[in-house]
Structure 1
Amino acid sequence: MFSGLMGLMAEHAAAPGMRDQFKETFRCYPIDAMNDRIKKPGANYGGKIFLPASALNKLSVLNVKYPMLFEILARESNTRAFGGVLEFTSEEGRVYLPKWMFRGLGITVGGLVEVLSTDVPQGRFVKLEPQSTDFLDISDPKAVLETALRNFSTLTVEDIIEINYNDTIYGIKILEVKPKSAIQSICVVETDLVTDFAPPIGYVEPERFSDKIKAPVDKAAANSNRTLGPMSKRIKYNELLNTTNNESLFLGKGLKLSGKQPKTKDDTETSFKKINLSLNEIPARLDLPKGQLFFGFPIIPPKALPNEATGADDIAKQPRFLGIGASLRKSSKKRRNTSGETDAPSSKKKNPKPKKESAPENPEIIEID
């Protein structure tokens, strides 16, 4: 009888809706205030807290769902936060929170908080907002977030979490989570999470220049003002172009380098004054024969001076080479002079060599007493 009653009580205690709740009050400190012996590097860039060993003893007795998730209530500021537990190594009566979580609660160092075990639904979607445009410098933000979110157990709307990448701290605000619930928080442990990004704070989208609609243009007006700039309009260049003033604008006297007198005005009269130039018409097409180029001005070859003129026959009669040739090695028999004649061989020899006396065939015998 009693054994059956105990079995019913055990099943009732193990029912999902009748789980026991962990509830304790601790003094709250940031992780930076922890002893270096128990402090964990990088704990500030996650969403897990440090609890004392006595909390582990109570949780092992209670029927608490895994993963262990907690709600931190700050009566002082009427705020709350959600997170997991990293270790049970803090001093008795103390709880240590990451810096961003402690800042979000808005309490003083050593203030009282309540830590309660809770259930948070598994997350499927989260929308994030980077707090700085420096986040755009990350080449692969998806891979960075996938690694950084392993240090978090929950994500709560309006929280500004912090991650560390390449010794740079990036703040990220949680804008939206799904599924939606009253606590506006989701669990990100062992779940497939779809991530969306909002533009970072301070980001300005580059302007997009839309194609302008081309309005109909008056061709006559366009042709009249096509070559006239602001300065041309100011001095009324179009009117000055067709002026009928026949007086010369140059009143000086020209001189030639050759010393000759320049031609008179009547000789150099051109037909430019008879041409009526206009900028209102389209320029006529310039058709040139094949192989001919037009540079905009006539090519007048220079005239040779009388004293400089020389005939072709005179040039041909002039000697082409007036130098004297010489050989590096001269012959003793024949020598050539500049006129092409050969010198007679000299009868006298310079510095004749003495003949050597040959030894007699039968030398005389000399007797010595």
Structure 2
Amino acid sequence: MFGFGRVFDEMNQAVGQRMTSFNTQYKCYSIMMLPGQEREDVERGGKIIMPPSALDHLSRLHISYPMLFKLSNLKASRTTHCGVLEFVADEGKIYLPYWMMENLLVSEGDLVGVTNCTLPVASYSRFQPLSPDFLDISNPKAVLENALRNFACLSKDDVISIQYNSKKYNLCVLEVRPGNAVSIIECDMSVEFATPIGYEHPQSHKPKEDTQVDGGISGTPDVKKALEEYMQENEGFQAFHGQGNRLDGKKKNTEGLKSNIDINNLQRGIPNYNWSEGTFKYIRNNEPPKDTDGDAAGPSFSAFEGEGKALRKKKRQP
């Protein structure tokens, strides 16, 4: 009747607005310093452990869930964002993953400011592995998706650490959308990867071409010389070279057609059509090494050199 109800509503609204912020400082320690059992799940994610008094304070505030916090190192002007896993730490202390302490540039026992915040839901992110070893993973997107389940938010320029097959991989957050810090809880986020630091693209090696010499012949000068001698002996090609026999006993001239071949355009691999039974001729690059004077070292090689002897001499027919 006298308007006291409206006054009380305005006072409650003003008090509620003042009680929506949580801003305090704690001494930070790595998760290795947490007394009791080891907590590897904290080291693999992006959440921290806070004292019970923080939960009591937060429960009295009108804050949005899930609880997200901004961590600040005022001395180095470094910030990051995280979620909370449990409220079981000692009073006045918080426990962080070691990779998060490296991002904040803090040591054991340094003061860190903790402020509650509200972040937009992520829609896009791009990561850059800090080592080419990350490419050894068969499906990196699936591995990263599984690792990010232990994270609550991502901040631009942070270096996060994930573990796969007992090996740690560090990734730098190059970009996130729609803001510089986003929440990744129950979101549909597209992920891209940049080229890992230290990765070198494989270079295509072209096969080395053989040394070209005059006449279109490829090979060393020694092979060229042997081919020239062979071409001088076989200047022309004779198809079906030979003679035929007739049933009536008469001789028929069956001399093959001759066609001249340009010696300069002769290529390797042409067979010797004038081959006769019992003879072989190979062109090889197996000349003996030469001495300083340019002459071949040692006497010339002769295959099957020597004399044969028989146990009994055959008599020749007169």
Pair in the same fold by TM > 0.5: yes
CA drift of 1:278 comes to 7.1
Give unmatched runs, 5+ long, in structure 1: 211-221, 244-275, 287-292, 309-369
Structure 2 residue aligned with 1:69: 68
1:279 aligns with 2:263: yes
Q: Distance in 1 between matches of 2:68 and 2:90?
A: 20
Structure 1 residue aligned with 2:41: 42
Structure 2 residue aligned with 1:3: 5
Say if 1:241 and 1:277, in contact at 8 Å, map to a contact too. no
Structure 1 residue aligned with 2:294: none
SS at match of 1:205: coil
Q: Distance in 2 between matches of 1:40 and 1:242?
A: 86
CA drift of 1:150 comes to 1.0
Structure 1 residue aligned with 2:121: 122
Q: Distance in 2 between matches of 1:281 and 1:170?
A: 61
Structure 2 residue aligned with 1:297: 275
CA drift of 1:160 comes to 0.6
Structure 2 residue aligned with 1:230: 220
Fraction of identical pairs, as percent: 34
CA drift of 1:12 comes to 6.0
Q: How does 1:53-64 map to 2 (within 5 A)?
A: 53-64=52-63
Q: How does 1:179-328 map to 2 (within 5 A)?
A: 179-180=178-179, 184-208=180-204, 224-227=214-217, 229-232=219-222, 238=228, 279-282=263-266, 296-299=274-277
Q: Distance in 1 between matches of 2:265 and 2:124?
A: 68
SS at match of 1:100: helix
Question: CA 1:9–1:225 in structure 2 vs 1: closer, same or farther (change >3 Å)?
Answer: farther
Q: How does 1:94-109 map to 2 (within 5 A)?
A: 94-109=93-108
CA drift of 1:179 comes to 1.0
1:268-325 CA distances to partner (integer Å, 9 max, x unpaired)? xxxxxxxx99732558xx9xxxxxx98642237xxxx9968xxxxxxxxxxxxxxxxx
1:338-364 CA distances to partner (integer Å, 9 max, x unpaired)? xxxxxxxxxxxxxxxxxxxxxxxxxxx
Question: CA 1:12–1:190 in structure 2 vs 1: closer, same or farther (change >3 Å)?
Answer: farther
Say if 2:218 and 2:224, in contact at 8 Å, map to a contact too. no
Structure 1 residue aligned with 2:242: none
CA drift of 1:192 comes to 0.8
SS at match of 1:90: coil
Q: Distance in 2 between matches of 1:238 and 1:299?
A: 23
SS at match of 1:174: strand
Say if 2:216 and 2:266, in contact at 8 Å, map to a contact too. no
Structure 1 residue aligned with 2:21: 21
Structure 2 residue aligned with 1:355: none
Structure 2 residue aligned with 1:31: 31
Greater strand fraction, Structure 1 or Structure 2: 2
Structure 1 residue aligned with 2:51: 52
For 2:276, the aligned partner's letter is P
For 2:4, the aligned partner's letter is F
Question: CA 1:232–1:239 in structure 2 vs 1: closer, same or farther (change >3 Å)?
Answer: same
Give unmatched runs, 5+ long, in structure 2: 207-211, 234-259, 279-313
For 2:215, the aligned partner's letter is N
Larger Rg: 1
SS at match of 1:280: helix
Q: Distance in 1 between matches of 2:92 and 2:203?
A: 57
Q: Distance in 2 between matches of 1:171 and 1:236?
A: 62
Say if 2:216 and 2:265, in contact at 8 Å, map to a contact too. no
TM-score (norm 1): 0.59
Q: Distance in 2 between matches of 1:19 and 1:124?
A: 31
